[in-house]
Structure 1
Amino acid sequence: MTSATTTPRSVSRDSIFAGGEWVSPSTTAEIILESPVDLSEVGRAPDAIAADVDRAVRAAREAFDHGPWGRMSPAERADWLDKLADEMERRGLDTAELITAEIGQPISVSRPWASVRPITHLRYYAKVARRPDFEEEERPNIHGDGNSIIRREPLGVAALIVPWNHPQASLTLKLGPALAAGCTVVIKPAAETALDVFAFAEASLAIGMPPGVINIVPGGRETGQALVDHPGIDKISFTGSAEAGRQIASAGGRRLIPVTLELGGKSAAIVLESADLDKAFTSLRHAIFDNSGQICAMMSRVLAPASMYDEVRDRLVALAGDLKVGDPHDESTELGPLVSGRIHERVSGMVDRARAAGAQVLTGGQSLPSTGYFYAPTVITGAAEDSEIVQEEIFGPVVTLMSYNGVDDAVRIANDSHYGLAGAVYGAEDEIVGVARRIRTGSIGLNGYRPDFNTPYGGYKDSGLGREFGAEAVRNFQEVKSIWR
């Protein structure tokens, strides 16, 4: 493990962003962001209360009901998205540095995820907005006596509740399609990343975006609850835990408003006997351990055929030992700390309970000597199929290895989960597609896992409702109107 450098100086915000203005919050309560590297203070932001949420929602409501945004043509909104992308691009490197300070994400990860992908998302949805499919005018009536018009209109005010692990990219996956559709938005970032989100406020002011289109209220769970329950919200898009997703789905159901949920995962990587292990492990290095395992689509279960179990085990242990853990500001660091003491306690507790239940910790399974929340890359074997470590999302650098006998057994084990977000199959080209089709998951990779932004992404079962990515994501923020002739 490399030693950590000093966290950059503290950055603070004392306002929320509503109606195109910096607004003093209705509370003196603050979120104090702690560096997971050395526990120093990274910065402070308002811990918004219901009155602040109300102000932001009212601003978004006014902008939607009476402002120009929803009345623009999709092509006009596309021009604004391109302007926003250009302005965010100028801030990208500084934003990446701030995210590394906020959550300890290695700078080699935060740069593409904060200064490249979000910009790509915004420009992609600008292109989608320019497509001529917001209104279909030539659908023949079934009676053969005329044509009908099918319009896709913006839902209204959308609540965007985003996670901390990739805060900028997770936001633009919601913001891009929402704005393209013609919605106005209220953004609630995770408390752990309550600072970097304000780059969107600065950018929207810099380009002169109509006031109230983008509104931001930082805060914790109570802030999110106030936003979800607000009667001025027409749509909720949430990324986070399955537990919180159920509560949000229930709130949306009570009000009969649409909800999109991208939730947790417990994804399996199936290694077939025909797999090229050198190529497979080049992929698994990232598919298991990127961002210290703090990604919902991580391959936290590896399934190996009995005939190759020992070799896969030894390679996994060697891989975990080869990863460079340390200072996230160091360009060569692969794994930084876990984001917080709460997550560190969760990960270490799950590993300790697995060990106590009889599982073997082949490597790792302990905190690393440091002031911060560093945890060693960990490989576990011998855990029961129904055990917590196998069934529940860990959100840390921990992988369980399991053996199977035949492809049917591998499919059974992979599907034995209440999650269904991601997965991967490694093997010969003539075999892997057939196996992938049998896995109950929203996305699955062939000889690797790299989601294609141009295609729908989401989960089965407890991994969520609806789909993000692709042109289809705009539909999440639209109503459909039929005009009959």
Structure 2
Amino acid sequence: MIIPDTDSLRDRAAAALAACGARDDHPTADGTLIARSPITGGTLCLLTPSEPEQVTAAVADAHDAFLRWRTVPAPRRGALVRRLGELLTEHKSDLATLVTLEAGKITAEALGEVQEMIDVCEFAVGLSRQLYGRTMPSERPGHRLTETWHPLGVVAVISAFNFPVAVWSWNTAIALVCGDTVVWKPSELTPLTAIACDALLRRAAEDVGAPTGVHRLVLGAGPVGERLVDDPTVALVSATGSVRMGREVGPRVAQRFGRCLLELGGNNAAVVAPSADLDLAVRGIVFSAAGTAGQRCTSLRRLIVHSSIADEVVKRVASAYRQLRAGDPFAEGTLVGPLIGERAWDAMSAALVRARADGGTVVCGGERVESDSGHYATPALVRMPAQTSVVREETFAPILYVLTYETLGEAITLHNEVPHGLSSSIFTTDQREAERFLASDGSDCGIANVNIGTSGAEIGGAFGGEKETGGGRESGSDSWKAYMRRATNTVNYSDQLPLAQGVRFGR
């Protein structure tokens, strides 16, 4: 396996940042925030993380901008997001390069992530003319009863490494058209993509005359995020990450009566029924399980297959796995890039040890791909005799556990028997089975699919999950309501003052 040297990767990063107009807002002198590439494990550059007072100042700037931005008509706010989408289109290749460098995604997936940003900008521009309220019948004559929606305030976006730009855009594009301002803390593993996106949004704001401060970027590890979580000026904290992180963030924001939008872990499963189109199913299974080296929150981690076809499905998936090429994500033909780092490889190795101890059999994969740099692994396919504790846990690595079932009811029970509730799917050509899986007593996930895998959600549908996944919703549908506050308005246009519920006061 041939991997490019770190010097060449560093040059690519510098060129992409310069193309996006990134400014030196985070100096490198004595920097303690290390921007690394999982491709080699080498350092791309050193950055200076934000100090606590800088985080507070960023929130204050965003709040000052909010006081002006909230009065701008929503269609004019949409002009900012439209311009951002144009700049993202212009710099699609540059941003994809940075995504590959920092997150290790293969080029096709990196380009797809940037396209997702462009798509959500288009969605948000249309939304800027559709922030509809309601008119409801009043029980009192001469009265009008309505609902109106208003900007919420400063939104803190805390994002994860695996989607270093798309999740930011889901939140930011929607928040901006809703009249909010944004402070973004990206993962400390992917600061360069954030610097590039911030530069493009700043340029978009200048081009359309938006207030300075509608977007602020802060860099660093946990303490920076904690500052945002605890700041009473932050109206909404939208945080993407682990369940452990969510358990810390949720109570702290609730304690100050702030709002939370949590997108946490997923232990996603696909049911393969006897009637399934196996050619289609295998394609969906392999991409969902091995894409992004198993480092998506929607990655397929459990395969629940009817016993009558289990051997055939395992054979086909194993055959496809053996053809997957792991290596340099920039290289043509590579389908599996690197794990984000050593901790990810250690977690994968430990999970496979536990699976074997529980009676599991590794059908293929799970080996370290020899490399002088980076952490590369072949996706693992593991047959399990039961859904043991290791199967119920989310390991952020390419491990797919195979379980069998006899009845659809048993499959649904197995499917729902984990603490997470993000994404799910069933492969079947039986309409009754499909409808049962989508019914209220079927999948308990926020996303339930038929004849497609668990990953690759479109921006038009609300994204999010239940149980330990956090319950938040981002991107499409009516998820914009999370970024606004609702007011119920009553207008009395009569010359009388009747009370509700027929109450009479006085004589």
Name the SS for the 1:273 alignment partner. coil
Q: Name the residue aligned to 2:81.
A: 81
**Residues 78-87 or 141-150, more deviating:** 141-150
8 Å contact from structure 1 (residues 140, 148) kept in 2: yes
Distance in 1 of aligned mates of 2:397 and 2:318: 16
Shift of 1:331: 2.5
Distance in 2 of aligned mates of 1:471 and 1:309: 37
Q: Name the residue aligned to 1:42.
A: 44
Instruction: State how 1:172-183 maps to structure 2 within 5 Å.
Output: 172-183=169-180
Aligned pair count reads 472
Name the SS for the 1:118 alignment partner. helix
Instruction: State how 1:220-235 maps to structure 2 within 5 Å.
Output: 220-235=221-236
- Name the amino acid aligned to 1:82: R
1:378 counterpart (365, 377, 380): 380
> CA offsets, 1:219-266, max 9 Å, x none?
111211111111221111111111101111111110111101111111
Distance in 2 of aligned mates of 1:336 and 1:452: 23
Distance in 2 of aligned mates of 1:232 and 1:174: 18
Change (3 A) 1:200 1:35: closer
8 Å contact from structure 2 (residues 59, 183) kept in 1: yes
8 Å contact from structure 1 (residues 91, 199) kept in 2: no
8 Å contact from structure 1 (residues 427, 447) kept in 2: yes
Q: Name the residue aligned to 1:185.
A: 182
2:479 counterpart (473, 477, 480): 473
Is 1:129 the counterpart of 2:135 in the alignment? no
Distance in 2 of aligned mates of 1:49 and 1:401: 47
Shift of 1:21: 9.2
Shift of 1:452: 3.2
Shift of 1:374: 0.4
Distance in 1 of aligned mates of 2:202 and 2:296: 32
Instruction: State how 1:229-308 maps to structure 2 within 5 Å.
Output: 229-308=230-309
Change (3 A) 1:383 1:253: farther
Is 1:164 the counterpart of 2:161 in the alignment? yes
Is 1:202 the counterpart of 2:199 in the alignment? yes
Unaligned runs of 5+ in 1: 14-19
- Name the amino acid aligned to 2:57: R
Unaligned runs of 5+ in 2: 16-21, 492-507
Name the SS for the 2:474 alignment partner. coil
Distance in 2 of aligned mates of 1:55 and 1:362: 54
Q: Name the residue aligned to 2:351.
A: 350
Q: Name the residue aligned to 1:16.
A: none
1:154 counterpart (146, 151, 159): 151
Instruction: State how 1:70-109 maps to structure 2 within 5 Å.
Output: 70-109=70-109
RMSD of aligned C-alpha atoms?
A: 2.0
Change (3 A) 1:161 1:309: same
Distance in 1 of aligned mates of 2:211 and 2:201: 8
8 Å contact from structure 2 (residues 422, 447) kept in 1: yes
Distance in 1 of aligned mates of 2:126 and 2:66: 22
Change (3 A) 1:201 1:365: closer
Shift of 1:3: 2.1
Distance in 2 of aligned mates of 1:244 and 1:141: 45
- Name the amino acid aligned to 1:60: A
> CA offsets, 1:167-199, max 9 Å, x none?
111111111111111001100000111111122
Is 1:442 the counterpart of 2:446 in the alignment? yes
8 Å contact from structure 2 (residues 104, 338) kept in 1: yes
Change (3 A) 1:466 1:184: same
**Residues 96-105 or 211-220, more deviating:** 96-105
Instruction: Give the TM-score, by structure 1 length.
Output: 0.93
Distance in 1 of aligned mates of 2:419 and 2:471: 14
Name the SS for the 1:333 alignment partner. coil
Distance in 1 of aligned mates of 2:226 and 2:315: 46
- Name the amino acid aligned to 2:443: I
Distance in 2 of aligned mates of 1:132 and 1:239: 25
**Residues 323-332 or 145-154, more deviating:** 145-154
Name the SS for the 1:234 alignment partner. strand
> CA offsets, 1:12-57, max 9 Å, x none?
79xxxxxx99756899552112222222212232222311211111
Instruction: State how 1:133-148 maps to structure 2 within 5 Å.
Output: 133=132, 135-136=133-134, 138-148=135-145
Distance in 1 of aligned mates of 2:45 and 2:319: 38
8 Å contact from structure 2 (residues 446, 466) kept in 1: yes
Q: Name the residue aligned to 2:413.
A: 412
- Name the amino acid aligned to 1:338: L
- Name the amino acid aligned to 2:478: E
8 Å contact from structure 1 (residues 26, 52) kept in 2: no
Q: Name the residue aligned to 1:53.
A: 55
> CA offsets, 1:364-421, max 9 Å, x none?
1221111211011101112531321x11111111100011111111111101111110
Name the SS for the 1:313 alignment partner. helix
Distance in 1 of aligned mates of 2:331 and 2:260: 39
Is 1:459 the counterpart of 2:458 in the alignment? no
Q: Name the residue aligned to 2:498.
A: none
**Residues 460-469 or 28-37, more deviating:** 28-37
Distance in 2 of aligned mates of 1:455 and 1:205: 28
Distance in 2 of aligned mates of 1:264 and 1:252: 19
8 Å contact from structure 1 (residues 272, 305) kept in 2: yes
- Name the amino acid aligned to 1:358: G
Q: Name the residue aligned to 1:17.
A: none
Name the SS for the 1:124 alignment partner. helix
Distance in 1 of aligned mates of 2:279 and 2:222: 44
8 Å contact from structure 2 (residues 100, 330) kept in 1: yes
Is 1:4 the counterpart of 2:10 in the alignment? no
Instruction: Give the TM-score, by structure 2 length.
Output: 0.89
Distance in 1 of aligned mates of 2:26 and 2:266: 38
Shift of 1:125: 0.6
Name the SS for the 2:101 alignment partner. helix
Shift of 1:316: 2.0
8 Å contact from structure 1 (residues 238, 261) kept in 2: yes
Name the SS for the 1:39 alignment partner. coil
Distance in 1 of aligned mates of 2:23 and 2:397: 38
8 Å contact from structure 1 (residues 30, 45) kept in 2: yes
- Name the amino acid aligned to 1:72: V
